[in-house]
Amino acid sequence: MLFSLICPKCLHKGKYNIAQLNEENDYWRLFCQNCNHELLVVSHSEREQIIQGLALTEKYVPDILNAYKNLDLDKDTSSKVEFGRVREKD
């Protein structure tokens, strides 16, 4: 489940896997591959929403964008998120 995020600090556009989120104090965090800036902090339920959203991308992409908008992310650290087509490995 890959998705791309643009770091608001260094503008690095990275490809991330949902499995790269690190669990810490009941939250899941994702850091920039380039400058280690914190890109994403989500709760367990939000993480589940993202996983479900990514799982649906092959079927109906617009739904994912709406699902992501509904997440209550901190405005200061929110990043531009782009969901591309995700394909399972053969």
List the one residue from 30, 32, 42, 50 that touches Zn ion (CB under 5 A). 32
CB-based burial label for 88 (10 Å; 0-12, 13-18, 19+):
exposed
37 interacts with Zn ion by CB under 5 A: yes
* Region of residue 45 (phi > 0: left; psi between -120 and 50: alpha; otherwise: beta): alpha
80 interacts with Zn ion by CB under 5 A: no
List the one residue from 1, 4, 6, 9 that touches Zn ion (CB under 5 A). 9
Contacts with Zn ion by CB under 5 A lie at 7, 9-10, 12, 32, 34-35, 37
